[in-house]
A and B are shown apart, each in its own frame.
Chain A
Amino acid sequence: MERALILRGALAGAVGGLLAFVFARIFAEPQISAAINYESGRDAAQDALDKAAGQAVPAMGPDIFSRTVQANVGIGVGMVFFGVAMGLLFAVTYTICLGRVGGVRARTLALLVAGGGLLSMYVVPFLKYPANPPAIGHEDTIRSRSVLYLTMTLAAVLLLIGAVLLGRWLQARLGTWNAALAAGAAYVVAVGIVMALLPSFGELAANVHTFGRHATETPLPLKDAQGRIVYPGFPADTLATFRIYSLLAQVILWGAIGLVFAPMAERVLTPPSAPEPARRDTAPASLR
């Protein structure tokens, strides 16, 4: 049984990843290209400034993979494998939840677990550390940024598990509706505390030291020695569009996982001889 569920979870994840890849290829790639063009233009302006000031200009290393490979095969492999990973985590959670979360239908549980995955694996970390297109992010803070992002993700997942357990515990005295509201409120407060405690990327010591106090690592306008702007800051529209598309891709991914998995799980969990579950939804004979 668990084998069937986990293999179907991986399949649902692959389907979700494939759909998210198609979306990314059509909508995200133009934004990524715009960001890389901005980065190239800014680097050229920086080199010109450095040359004028008599500084050595660092030579660029050769590209390991061409942009064509990265924008087609690379992003496809990345999205599909990420989808499989999320599908597996989804199936693990689903299998553990089965029979332990009260009177929830197999199909409904699939959507609830997918919603929890979307919320804790992506949306909550995104609210603190949103996705950034290329050209944003300093090379020397990659380690702290990764550790902070993974910490935020882990906290979002563990706190959600805690909130579900809290809801189960409260259900006996408050009823399902109030217990769910109380557990949801507790999750919001706990996540808010974690977000308030973790620093923003711009507040990292290396950034404050080099660039001064800013909320993020988004490139500011480039200025020459006289303080005139010689190259604009990162285009706000590209950033906003990229982030919205990143969020939509995750909604597509998790939505597909839940919707593809739900009917498959119901078929696995319902014995072939049993009557249709929907038929049993009618009232007991005594109430008719």
Chain B
Amino acid sequence: MSTIPNTAPTARASATPVVTSEARAFAWIFGAAIVALALYYFIGVDQGAFSVFGSDTHIHEFVHDSRHFLGFPCH
């Protein structure tokens, strides 16, 4: 019988630890998600269908080319 080395990593050794059990982790995760969604909204959506600053198109016109290129609907 030949001895083929078992090269599969052991699950325990390679599995990643849970790091999000505390309230502090929640604050960071929640904050990051809010910042990300705000950026997503202003780059992709604001002053197209909706507008936070009323009848103004400065953000839309400034990021115009990237808005098209990133796949968002544009005028």
Contact = CB atoms under 8 A, between A and B. Distances in A.
B5 A283 contact: yes
Interface in A132-180: 132-134, 137, 139, 142-143, 145-150
A17 B67 CA distance: 13
Contacts of B68: 32, 131-134
Contact of A139 (B9, B11, B75): B75
Given A9-B32, A78-B63, A82-B44, A98 B18 contact: yes
Interface in B33-72: 33, 35-37, 39-40, 42-45, 48-50, 57-58, 61-72
Interface size classification for chain B: 35 or more
Contacts of A133: 68
A35 to B, nearest CB: 8
Contact of B10 (A75, A91, A280): A280
Contacts of B37: 85
A85 B42 CA distance: 11
A2 interface: yes
B20 A82 contact: no
Given A2-B28, A88-B33, A132 B16 contact: no
A54 interface: no
Contacts of B14: 103-105, 277, 280-281
Contact of B65 (A29, A82, A98, A106): A29
Interface string B1-24: 001011101111111111110001
A74 B9 contact: no
Given A88-B36, A105-B14, A287-B5, A150 B66 contact: no
Contact of A142 (B25, B44, B48, B65): B48
A75 B65 contact: yes
Nearest to A126: B71
Interface string A90-114: 0110011011101111100100000
A125 B16 contact: no
Residue picked from B9, B18, B36, most chain A C-beta under 10 Å: B36
Nearest to B58: A64
Contacts of A283: 5-7
A215 B66 CA distance: 25
B16 A82 contact: no
A58 interface: no
A228 interface: no
A119 interface: no
Contacts of B13: 277, 280
A12 to B, nearest CB: 13
B10 to A, nearest CB: 7
Given A78-B70, A103-B14, A6 B75 contact: no
Given A79-B70, A149-B73, 10 more contacts: A6-B28, A81-B42, A85-B39, A85-B40, A96-B20, A105-B14, A134-B68, A246-B69, A281-B7, A287-B5
The 6 lowest CB-CB distance pairs between A and B, nearest first, are A78-B66, A99-B18, A103-B11, A146-B49, A78-B63, A85-B39
Interface of A: 1-3, 5-6, 9-10, 21, 24, 28-29, 32, 63-65, 69-71, 73-79, 81-82, 84-86, 88-89, 91-92, 95-96, 98-100, 102-106, 109, 122, 125-126, 129-134, 137, 139, 142-143, 145-150, 201, 242, 245-246, 249-250, 269, 277, 280-284, 287-288
